[in-house]
Structure 1
Amino acid sequence: MKHYLDLIPISAKVYRKQNRMTLICISLAVFLVTVIFGMADMEVRSQRLQAIKDYGNWHMMLKTADEEEAAMVAARPEVTASAWYGVLNYRLAQDYRIGPGKTAICSFDSSFLSNIFSGIKFVEGHFPQNDRQAALTENAKDRLKIKVGDKITLDTPQGESYQYTVSGFLENTSLLMKADGIGTFLNPDGYQALTASMKSGDVTDQDGCYYIQLSTHCDMNRVMNDIASQFNWSDKKDIAKNTKLLATLGQSRDSFILQLYSVALVLFLLVLLAGVLMIAGSLSTNIMQRTEFFGMLRCLGASKKQIIRFVRLEALQWCKWALPIGILSGMAVIWILCAVLRDLSPSYFSAMPIFGVSWISVVCGIAVGILTVLLAAQSPAKKAAKVSPLTAVSGNAYTPQPASKAANTRWLKVDTALGVHHAKASKKNFALMAGSFALSIILFLAFSATMDFMDHAIKPLKPYTPDLSIISADNTRSLNSRLTDCLEDDAAVEKVYGRMFAYKLSAETSGNPLSVDLISYEQHQFDWAKDVLIEGSLGNVQKNKDAVLTVYDAKNPLHPGDTITVHSQGKEKTVTVTGVLSDSPFTNEADTEIIICSEAVFRSLQGDGGYTIIDVQLSDKATDQDVNRIRSLTSGPNRTFSDQRASNAEVQGGYLSFALFIYGFLIIIALITVFNIINSIAMSVSARIPQYGAMRAIGMSSRQMIKMILAESITYAAASSIIGCAAGLPIHKFLYEHLVTYRWGDPWQVPAGPLALILLLVIASSIAAVYGPAKRIHRLSIVDTINAKQQ
């Protein structure tokens, strides 16, 4: 050994067990920062992919620009891509048809698909090369029994017909599938030829715009404002912005998005602070209990400056192992989550790399690890340098500070009183321990506010959500009820359920006039209604008695026990409200209430007839061929077929991506809380092993020793719970008001569930943390305990 710093690896071997605890703590802190920031980064990426898939990769849309103005905008250096888009019969309100299917006619050039809507791919063929070619959505292939190269005829509402050659098939869109429409895509020449051949007065439901994609390295809002002012365009009339995509790029100036940015900043700072406190508490305990070692270095001639340098370099040696462990384990968790996301919703997140690296999380993890270790080592290093050689030789280097006040045994037993006294003996250590535990509570409460945001912002699929719907075109009861029996026998169908509707019926309750929408349920729907029943019962309604359910609304005057007299078709029937549902799949006008009854009660009032809508849930093995067969089976005049599988997948994908990361945050925080508490208590106990030996020597039993450690642990838990609630609830309120109240108006309430869960977790972890140290103390003899070293 040629240099005193060569003692660092030797010291690491001697204090191997103690250093292992410190390494675990630093690794946990780095892991927390890496995985939280990495998950947040991946969530932003997933939302960006989802925004591009749903709305396109554009940032600004010009609604009223002519070709000259569009060319001037496209020439700007900030513009990376641009494309015209024209559409005819976008809402499928006009009778444009190819065979039996209604169609929307779209126009763009090939760059539109490669740059703006890159999420839409050709599954077969190519883009139309001339004005006599057309590409179609993939659903036309099976419905019309056509292939690339076949001729198709486009029929217009004016009675004109246009022939095209099929050049290819593109992926289906959820909007067209839901409306059971076919997409027809022409190049700009073909679209202009079509619209020019029609009389201008006959062309309705036509729209067009110019999409602009900007460089991600520019200030997009400044550029868009500059473009708008240059041509005197107003925000809503002449231009539109892709708000969701701009938000994921950090470029939005929408007031609500700015609120989200402020929330992200608060969560960012809380995560950093949690990591800092975890490392600081661990290093303080580790270094201070080895001041005897540093005092011996002073005996050998080491200066105070050298001791401080020694401590700092030793702390950096811990980082050499702790940083890779924390960062690699954090990245592994992120990769697992990305793989799960790709598997759950491949249509959305197939482009997300499983082994992607979030450099933001890596940099933040390294920065938190190194900077915190250096800062946390500063104070213990100075105290270690102040230990005199005489004190070190005497063996009293880690003697606690003289007590100014004895343990309070008036109300507590001596073992419990000593435990509480030990916890509060060092104010700095007590503050670090309690603060570290409290930050876990604060973090959990803060991130739990995002669950409320998720529940408001993204509605998950309900159990009653159908895959297919057959709808009466005029909202009458024109669907034959025998159709449900036919569909139930289909192997591709899992559930079939129909409903009858009667809108805006006149009624009265307690002498007051009332307008109601009457809706029938069958057994499947009654089973789902049980899960959202908040008052009353379903029994009488299911038994076909004169009973109904209503749906909760703040202005709804109906309550269980109320009677309603309903008038319809010259008939009058009095029914009783027996239950209230919190939710339903229906919307109603402001002055109309929803009442739900059995099919028998509905027919007794409205007479015999079929269903207004029949919903179908498919089995997991159902194919497109099965759907086409069901469409053919249910086709007929005055019927609309709606395929909602694609839109359901989009909703499910959006919800799962958000839920996966939100619940992932909470699970990670909960696990870090448990590990941090157990590790911190173990280190605190290890630092007092010689003192515990002395107590054993004067007669304290192992059981009393365990009670004393338990009292110390519970003291930390109690203090952290008070601090965590006092700081966490106001932070939760702040985040809730910015995330939920600002947008939806819901008032803040105490998060009783998350609060009880994290407090229970902290207390349970504090009790469980006693097991390891107690087992160790129980194994050691009194002499071994007095002379115990961290080896």
Structure 2
Amino acid sequence: MIGNYKQLSRRYLKGNKKRTILTLIGIVLSVSLISTIGLFMNGTQISQIENTKKRQGYSFHAVVLNYDESILKKIKYNPQIESFGLMSQGETVQVGEAAVQMNFADDNALEFLKYSIIKGRLPSNDQEVAVDPWVLPYIKENIQIGDLFELNEKKYKLVGFLSDSTYTQENKVGRLLTYKSKFSAGEGKILVGISSKANFNEVLEGLKAISGENNINISNELIQLEKPGYNNSIMATLIITISIVVIATIVVIYNAFQISVVERTRQFGLLRSIGATRKQIRQIVLREATFLAVIAIPIGIICSLIALASLQFTFSLLMENSKAVSIFYVDWNILIISSIITLLSVIASSLYPAYFAGKISPLLAISSRLSIKKEQIKKQKNSMVKKPLSIPLSMAMKNVNRNKNRYTITILSIIISSVLFITFSYLMSVAFASKSFDKLSVKSDITIKIVDNNPDHLAESEQVLHQLKSLENISKVYEKQENSFETKLKDVTQSSATVKEIENTIGKSYTITIVNNYQENKTKKEEKLTLQVLAYGFITVISLISSVNILNTITISIMTRRKELAALKSIGMSQKDLKKMITYEALIYGFSGSLQGIFFGCILSYIIYLAISDMLKMTWTIPYEACIITFVSALIISYLSVLNPLKKIQQDNIIDNIREQ
């Protein structure tokens, strides 16, 4: 017994479990879509920031090269500057064939430079140092972290290794970093870290105003990653991307809910006929929508977290040092915003059909003729119906044209999924084609240059090439240019030992410069792999969500027509023809939806191109590969989506389905 009309909501959900589950899946997909994309974008940003800091070896945003006491005070008391540190260069000390550049930093400056440490720690007093590993053999043989050594008549303790720099190796001037507590006025330079809540443009312009435009070096790459709004092109791209995702979320939920509610127009008509008011009808539907949302939103968030955790697991398998950078960041703000958008979308999606059901005549609603409009019958010449094999196709086309509302709702799902795939595929191709990604190209493992001025030695490159090839750990040798060689190692972890071996063989006869690219290549590989895993993982998740969404939408569309299909079977349509008709309908949905999705996807990709054309010098081309994948996938998914409903319809009892209210 029903004591309150509001109980009808829960009764309906329990009584129509299949349809309820399909609607729930639609809402789960929606919240998964927006939360996954939000978490992906957040994780990508954080991982890129960390990787950039590691590659650059520092985390400050700007450097004031020359300063006085007045400039220092203005920086110190600027509330938008989170921290600043002082750093200076000392004398250059000759150590054999190489040299060591002394560098001094205070506590805050050392904190900025912690990303340059690859092993050990930063110095904590003026007797501890961190040094470039390649220069250590010139200072003292077989020196390890914790050992003492003497340099420029002063004893130091080695506490850390700095990341090897190509520039310092080529110039044979290694870096030595130590602590200094007090700096005299104007000594060295100021390293500036801007607050994350600050207006970066305003702070940078202020620094230029007080110290001179040419007196500041800005870390543009790091700032663009931390503050996308600093660059208008990046901000425009983000706004377009987020807008697509939000619209997609609303449409996905609308599809899942609208098909379910429109099918129940007759029930709403019956309730109206026995005295239910418009307000009561709306409350019934809203209660149902809220109940579904409360169940689906937590499930969707869990699915999103599982997707992200799976990506992190894949990432850890591929990465040599998986602890270096994590992409699994749970931002509760993103999850809350995703939940709110989903809840509002569910309510909005249920309001329109509820309002529509309350507004129309109960008699029309009960007759179930609202979604069917009278067609103008025209005599067709050379009609395909004359051919027996074309009857299912003709019926499918008529069914599509007969109910424009159902057709629009169904293909909207395909259009949105297609637009999402094409847009994000284009964004991925742009990212991989950018100069920033080109910077991550891996160099050779070791580079050797002969810098001997002896003309007899310079002419013996063939002999050097032969000597390099004879070394055990070298697999390949390339002569890049005259007297410059690049090598590939069999075991890159033994690069330091190979450098010593090269020095002992070739270095005895020639004056050479050796650059060990192992550490730089390792950092670049990790960063490149991070971006690739994120990009391809992101596209995979989007594709899966989109595919399941299309499957769900077409399945709901077919399952809500069981009475109609049973009627066709009762008047003589065979199961084979019924299967053909439904399959043709699904393929029409896939064909039409994918073409429209490709059209809008290409337009959006061009809009994104216009937004970033100032930042990236590249020409726009139609993303043919993504378009072909979209078209073929839409047809395949549309076909697969009808297989399960057809099996269920085949097993249904015709009489029971016709009697179904």
Equivalent in the alignment of 1:501: 481
State which of 148, 151, 173 in structure 1 corresponds to 2:149.
151
The amino acid across from 1:244 in the alignment is E
Work out the CA distance in 2 between the residues paired with 1:702 and 1:390.
34
Query: Secondary structure of 1:217's partner?
Result: coil
Q: CA shift at 1:629, angstroms?
A: 4.3
CA distance change for structure 1 residues 178 and 407 in 2, over 3 Å: closer, same or farther? farther
Q: In structure 1, what is the Cα distance between the partners aligned to 2:10 and 2:244?
A: 34
1:326 counterpart = 2:326: no
Tell me which residue corresponds to 2:355. Answer: 382
Q: Secondary structure, in 3 states, of the residue corresponding to 1:87?
A: strand
How far off is 1:301 after superposition? 3.9
> How far apart in 2 are the matches of 1:187 and 1:768?
67
1:98 aligned partner: 95
Aligned-partner SS, 2:82:
strand
Moved more, 683-692 or 68-77: 68-77
C-alpha distance 682-460 of structure 1, shift in aligned 2 (>3 A) = farther
Which 10-residue stretch deviates more, 36-45 or 212-221? 212-221
- Sort the Cα spacing of 1:372 and 1:640 in 2 relative to 1 into closer, same or farther, 3 A: same
Offset at residue 249 of structure 1 (A): 2.5
TM-score by length of 2: 0.88
Partners of 1:311 and 1:270 lie apart in 2 by 28
Which consecutive unaligned segments of at least 5 residues does structure 2 have? none
Paired with 1:408 and 1:106, the residues of 2 have a C-alpha distance of 91
Aligned to 2:108: 111
Residue 104 of structure 1 and its aligned partner are, at CA, apart by 2.8
- State how far apart, in whole Å, the 2-side matches of 1:744 and 1:353 are: 26
- Cα deviation for residue 488 of structure 1 reads 5.0
Counterpart amino acid of residue 639 in structure 1: I
* SS in structure 2 of the partner of residue 119 of structure 1: helix
Distance 1:767 1:10 in 2: 33
- Partner Cα distance (1:717, 1:376) in 2: 23
Rounded Cα–Cα distance in structure 1 between residues aligned with 2:98 and 2:577: 83
Shift of 1:259: 0.5
Compute the RMSD of aligned alpha carbons: 3.2
Structure 2 CA distance for partners of 1:435 and 1:399, relative to 1, 3 Å = closer
Name the aligned partner's letter for residue 97 of structure 1: Q
CA distance in 2, matches of 1:126, 1:766: 59
2:375 maps to: 404
**1:477–1:501 Cα contact (<8 Å) kept:** no
Correspondent of 2:249 among 268, 275, 283: 275
Distance 1:66 1:467, change over 3 A: same
What is the match of residue 484 of structure 2?
612
Tell me if structure 1 keeps the 8 A contact 2:414–2:593: yes
- Asked if structure 1 preserves the Cα contact closer than 8 Å seen for 2:492 and 2:518, the reply is no
1:224 paired with 2:97, answer no
Higher strand proportion:
1
Single out whichever of 757-766 and 441-450 deviates more from structure 2.
441-450
5+ residue gaps, structure 1, are 90-94, 154-161, 193-206, 503-610
2:106 and 2:182 in contact (8 A); partners too? no
Secondary structure at 2:162 match in 1? coil
- Aligned mate of 2:556, from 683, 691, 715: 683
Partner residue of 1:444? 421
Given the superposition, is the C-alpha separation of residues 344 and 170 from structure 1 closer, same or farther in structure 2, using an over 3 Å criterion? farther
Task: Work out the number of aligned pairs and report it.
Answer: 640
1:93-492 equivalence runs, <5 A: 96-114=93-111, 116-121=112-117, 123-124=119-120, 127=123, 129-130=125-126, 134-140=129-135, 144-147=141-144, 148=146, 150-153=148-151, 162-175=152-165, 179=170, 182-188=174-180, 208-229=188-209, 231=210, 233-235=211-213, 237-250=214-227, 253=230, 257-298=231-272, 301-341=275-315, 344-345=318-319, 350=324, 352=326, 354=328, 356-386=329-359, 396-397=367-368, 400-405=371-376, 410-412=383-385, 413-450=390-427, 451-457=429-435, 458-459=437-438, 465-473=443-451, 477=458, 481=462, 488=469, 492=473
Are the counterparts in 1 of residues 281 and 358 from structure 2 also a CA contact under 8 Å? yes
- Alpha-carbon distance in structure 2 between the residues aligned to 1:421 and 1:698: 18
Deviation digits for residues 148-185 of structure 1, max 9, x if unmatched? 453333xxxxxxxx222122232332315754653212
Query: How has the CA–CA distance of structure 1 residues 621 and 81 changed in structure 2, closer, same or farther, with 3 Å as cutoff?
Result: closer
Contact 2:88 2:188 in 1 (8 A): yes
Supply the distance in 2 between the matched residues of 1:377 and 1:190 (Cα, whole angstroms): 67
Give the whole-Å Cα distance in 1 for the aligned partners of 2:441 and 2:65: 36
Change (3 A) 1:744 1:763: same
Q: Within 5 Å, give how 1:542-553 maps onto structure 2.
A: none
The 2-side partners of 1:282 and 1:124 are apart by: 56
Give the whole-Å Cα distance in 2 for the aligned partners of 1:85 and 1:774: 73
Residue number in structure 1 paired with 2:71: 69
Counterpart position of 1:196: none
Kindly provide the amino acid, as one letter, of the partner of residue 412 in structure 2: G
| Structure-2 change in CA distance of 1:220 and 1:191 (3 Å) | closer
Q: Compute the displacement of 1:263 (Å).
A: 0.8
Deviation at 1:284, TM superposition (A): 0.9
Instruction: Report which stretch shifted further, 368-377 or 340-349.
Output: 340-349
What's 1:524 paired with? none
- Identify the range of structure 1 (121-130 vs 634-643) with the bigger mean alpha-carbon deviation: 121-130
Instruction: Give the TM-score normalised by the residue count of structure 1.
Output: 0.74
Moved more, 762-771 or 742-751: 742-751
* Structure 1 CA distance for aligned equivalents of residues 114 and 40 of structure 2: 25
Amino acid at match of 2:647: K
Of 642, 647, 656, which aligns to 1:770? 642
Q: Which has the higher helix share?
A: 2
2:73 and 2:65 mapped to 1: Cα distance? 14
User: Are the equivalent residues in 1 in contact too, given 2:81–2:194 (CA < 8 A)?
Assistant: yes
Give the aligned partner of residue 42 of structure 2.
Answer: 41
